[in-house]
Chain A
Amino acid sequence: MRIGAVTFPGTLDDSDTLRAIKASGAEAVALWHGDADLRGVDAVILPGGFSYGDYLRAGAIARFAPVMDEIIAAARGGMPVLGICNGFQVLCEAGLLPGALLRNAGLHFVCRDQWLKVENNTTAWTSRYDAGAEIIVPIKNMDGRYAATKSTVDELEGEGRVVFRYTGGNPNGSLGDIAGISDPTGRIVGLMPHPEHAIGALTGPSDDGLGMFLSVLDSVVAA
């Protein structure tokens, strides 16, 4: 089982994502933004950071990297793809997920341990969680406020595509307390909080994040 994590210039949580992949028992594969090559991975993660400094709009430039063409094609073919934080922003910019992430309501960078409710445990990335489970995972970003048109939000809610919801306080003013969403197939998921920073009590608030990396192993085996 090979799971890739992409490094763009300015990606920050790539080594942490690779560490979490290893902790789940899979083989961690580093992917480079400039290479149009997925190196035979079974699933791909776009980690957090500030790709290209996010000086234009978070994720707006990374979306045009050579590796993204491969990822978009593979995702359309059913490969599980996870976008974390900046990776979520890139997936929105690439049109693989609807909506956008705006500046936090408080206009500050927010780093805290955040409670999340798992709203959908049928996606490729959340099958290991109980439905309605509450998990605690770090969140850390400047542009984390999920926004979309009313019809998009209605569609997401109606189809059960809101995967994670903030609970115990909305850190950034996201619409409907939305923390993470999926595409209609449930194979592409994006979320603002960082599951790769919750793989053990030594360096994170919990090991609640590990479930996402384990879930995708199940889904790849099942596929």
Chain B
Amino acid sequence: MIDTVDNAKATPEHEQPFRELGLKDDEYARIREILGRRPTDAELAMYSVMWSEHCSYKSSKVHWKHWSANTTPEMKAKMLAGIGENAGVVDIGDGWAVTFKLESHNHPSYVEPYQGAATGVGGIVRDIMAMGARPLAVMDPLRFGDPHHPDTKRVLPGIVAGVGGYGNCLGLPNIGGEVVFDSSYQGNPLVNALCVGAMRVEDLHLAHASGTGNKVILFGARTGLDGIGGVSVLASETFSGDEGGTGSTLDPAGRSSARKKLPAVQVGDPFTEKVLIECCLELFAQGIVVGIQDLGGAGLSCATSELASAGDGGMRVELDRVPLRATGMTPAEVLSSESQERMCAVVKPSDVDAFLRVCAKWDVIATEIGEVTDGDRLVITWHGETVVDVPPRTVAHEGPMYERPIERPDYQDSLQANGSDGLARPSTPDELRAEILRMAASPNLASRRWVTEQYDRYVRGGTVLAQPADSGMIRVDEETGRGVALATDCNSRFVKLDPYTGTQLALAEAYRNVAVTGATPLAVTNCLNFGSPEDPGVMWQFEQAVRGLAEGCKELGIPVTGGNVSFYNQTGTTAIHPTPVVGVLGVIDDVRRRIPTGIGAEAGETLLLLGDTRDEFGGSEWAHVAHGHLGGLPPKVDLAREKLLAEVLVAGSRDGMISAAHDLSDGGLAQTLVETCLIGEVGARVFLDPDQDPFVQLFSESAGRVLVAVPRSEELRFTEMCTARGLPTRRTGVVDPDSHSLEIQGVGELPLSELREAWEGTLPALFG
């Protein structure tokens, strides 16, 4: 029997499995208080998914004050839509608005690597579509456990194939991302997905359900039993591989559980999503969409309650009209199914026929399931009986909010005290030469080609830069050449050592990576991956990271336009290294002046090192590779310097003074030299500073540094500009187009063939 509102009123004492659904006693009590009665099964399903950590941000919301406190009016002026919408939107000029967002799909990807990663891509793409934009490209910051661990050989190939399988079939170029190994991610890989899209400024669509009498249309795939309970897996404290299919717990009606053993991880169909994209774009172009919302985590529960609460009225939905792909589904199941590739739109009655015609052209199933009402309730019926009658804001926006206890972990002092100074360092030329090769071949520094070759970077014809460039760059306007650059970064070892500084270092690196392509950094998004919010030490890391990012963005003058939080990331009972992945978006007025990564494009280039190199090895890749050491303090961060560096790079690009540039980060100058030579396929001669330890010069990870190649004819003009602006430069070498080796004075000669073998051999040997 279906549990109706009338039935709920009549049976107040009926016991409900709210704890199994992840609700605490006081949360359940609050639902009863809001409704003035017990919730129906369907209402309980809605509240439990929407009040989950993943959907409600109940542990993190209290810290959002740092974003607003650090956003100046000038920063706000760049945003057309910010936090609270499906994705942030910024004005990039020439009448174009760009929207971008990062999201996590960590737990599903551990349980079911291929589908978890695939649907992560699918979900973020629909978020971008829900803003009215055409998706342009995707990126994937990924984190894995020890590369030599047998389970990494299960997880990594599946995740990479899933990212590729979905994105390639969808027709979106994958233009960058990260692949990082650290044993803290062994039982909890991180799959973050970014999508960027563009639209004309006037075409921005926000998810509003306004206008009494307007129709609510569900379109896209049918609704099935897959992914039920998905959000509880996403943000679950009890998640484990064996219990991946926790769909059975989401069964307030007490139905037979055998049928429910479908995976809680959703299954993706990129073909349906591709068709859905084209269908949506045609609907947008015809101007017949009043409001639109994607169906992601929490499915229809989320879409109906968010659409209704963002509008100016209520909403009535006839749930039995939803096209199903399974028989005998209960209203609670229909509401919480996370079947992929679905969207929900609000359409004027006079436009419904035109809307359905466009959907028919693309063979997309579209069904009118309800309408906007003049009340303030979300009412959902099932074959004429009311199964949900709630104030929509209490579901979507007025969930619980917790001020979790915060405490700096006891281990933090000893971790910081355990510096890297005492670690044995290579010093002879032979030792340094061997170290360069060992570092280039180490899993975190080795070429990502084995991964990125599985991603289509060309489709849509707008990709100007892609991996292994520091940023991905996409042309937005074919006439003017205006485009955007995007980078995501996070060195979680730095964050572990000092969450505030480490997060600012992630911001600084992503900002720098955008600037080295010649683009001007404009806006920030993030995906904050942390351990359990119920651990005061984790919440301390989280609070420090949010504050560090917010205050860093204020100093750089670029707004945070949105973000995502993923808690409960832990291997066993140990939290992952705190991993606030920071994405920076930059704008370039003409992509033809982009700065490439590889040297050798012009005859006669000088290599200049911009910035200061200090003896900084805390959390460095060298300490990790050579000694398995993590301790001390991360490198110093100087955001004013980063800003200056970016200004110099953009000015140098505008004036045609820079022919190549590559940032210095993991692995230091040595790794930057190796990559810039191998990507450019030319040799170089490098002169180290006789007054500084060669080891420090080669491997330190001091921030705020970039290696640029300038045509010899521009060298003087460029260095004078740097000097005038107060940016230290050091003439570090020359590009040698006739040479096939990297020759470092005082260290020796490294043939490119030997470097290439070291750099490119590692991932295929591990996973090929």
Contact = CB atoms under 8 A, between A and B. Distances in A.
A98 interface: no
B475 A203 contact: yes
Interface string B126-166: 00000000000000000000000000000000000100110
Contacts of B453: 108-112
Given A12-B274, A52-B271, A140-B168, A108 B461 contact: no
21 contacts: A9-B274, A9-B275, A10-B274, A13-B171, A15-B461, A16-B459, A16-B461, A19-B461, A50-B270, A50-B274, A53-B269, A53-B271, A109-B164, A109-B453, A110-B453, A111-B453, A111-B455, A112-B453, A140-B168, A140-B456, A202-B475
B239 interface: no
Given A9-B271, A10-B271, A110-B453, A50 B461 contact: no
Nearest to A11: B171
Contact of B169 (A16, A19, A53): A53
Interface in A128-178: 138, 140, 142
A108 B161 contact: yes
B687 interface: no
B304 interface: no
Given A16-B459, A111-B452, 9 more contacts: A50-B168, A50-B169, A108-B161, A109-B164, A111-B168, A197-B461, A202-B464, A203-B461, A203-B463
A10 B364 CA distance: 13
Nearest to B455: A111
Contact of B165 (A109, A110, A138, A197): A109
A111 B463 CA distance: 14
A204 interface: yes
B63 interface: no
Contacts of B455: 109, 111
B454 A109 contact: yes
A138 B168 CA distance: 14
A194 interface: yes
B120 interface: no
A54 B170 CA distance: 12
B705 to A, nearest CB: 28
Contacts of A202: 464, 475, 591-592
A51 B183 CA distance: 41
B456 to A, nearest CB: 5
Interface of A: 9-10, 12-13, 15-16, 19, 49-50, 52-55, 106, 108-112, 138, 140, 142, 194, 196-197, 202-204
A142 B452 CA distance: 14
Nearest to B364: A9
Interface string B502-523: 0000000000000000000000
Nearest to B275: A9
Given A50-B169, A110-B453, A203-B464, A194 B271 contact: no
A108 B169 contact: no
Contact of A50 (B164, B271, B363, B458): B271
Contacts of A106: 768
A169 to B, nearest CB: 12
B459 A13 contact: yes
Interface string B244-273: 000000000000000000000000011110
B461 A196 contact: yes
Contact of B168 (A15, A109, A112, A204): A109
B454 A203 contact: no
Given A16-B461, A203-B462, A49 B454 contact: no
A110 B168 CA distance: 10
A13 B453 CA distance: 18
Contacts of A203: 458, 461-464, 475
A54 B457 CA distance: 20
Contact of A204 (B456, B458, B475, B591): B458
A49 B269 CA distance: 15
B588 to A, nearest CB: 12
Interface residues of B, number: 32
Nearest to A50: B169
B460 interface: yes
B540 interface: no
A5 to B, nearest CB: 13
B382 interface: no
Contacts, number: 85
B96 interface: no
A53 B171 CA distance: 11
Contacts of B478: 19
B639 to A, nearest CB: 32
Contacts of A13: 171, 459, 461
A111 B768 CA distance: 15
B212 to A, nearest CB: 36
B271 A108 contact: no
Contact of A12 (B164, B459, B463): B459
B115 to A, nearest CB: 15
B482 to A, nearest CB: 13
| Residue of B275, B454, B456 contacting most chain A CB atoms (<10 Å) | B456
A112 B455 CA distance: 9
Contact of B457 (A9, A55, A111, A196): A111
Contacts of A111: 168, 452-458
Contacts of A12: 169, 171, 274, 459-460
Contact of B459 (A10, A53, A112, A140): A140
Contacts of B475: 202-203
Nearest to A32: B361
Contacts of A194: 458
- For the complex of A and B, 9 pairs with smallest distance between CB atoms: A53-B271, A12-B171, A16-B461, A197-B458, A50-B169, A140-B456, A109-B454, A138-B458, A10-B271
A36 B171 CA distance: 25
Nearest to B171: A12
A53 B460 contact: no
B267 to A, nearest CB: 13
A140 B458 contact: yes
A16 to B, nearest CB: 4
Nearest to B157: A108
Nearest to B164: A109
A78 to B, nearest CB: 30
Nearest to A17: B461
Interface string B378-401: 000000000000000000000000
Contacts of B452: 111
Contacts of B591: 202
B136 to A, nearest CB: 12
Given A109-B165, A111-B455, A142-B168, A16 B271 contact: no
A70 to B, nearest CB: 19
Contacts of A16: 458-461
A108 B269 contact: no
Contacts of B464: 202-203
Nearest to B459: A12
A138 B362 CA distance: 29
Nearest to A110: B453
Contacts of A140: 168, 456, 458-459
A109 B167 CA distance: 11
Interface string B441-460: 00000000000111111111
Contact of B456 (A15, A19, A108, A109): A109
Contacts of A10: 169, 271, 274-275
Nearest to B461: A16
Given A16-B460, A53-B270, A196-B461, A9 B169 contact: no
A110 B456 CA distance: 8
Contacts of B463: 203
Contact of B460 (A15, A50, A142): A15
A109 B164 CA distance: 8
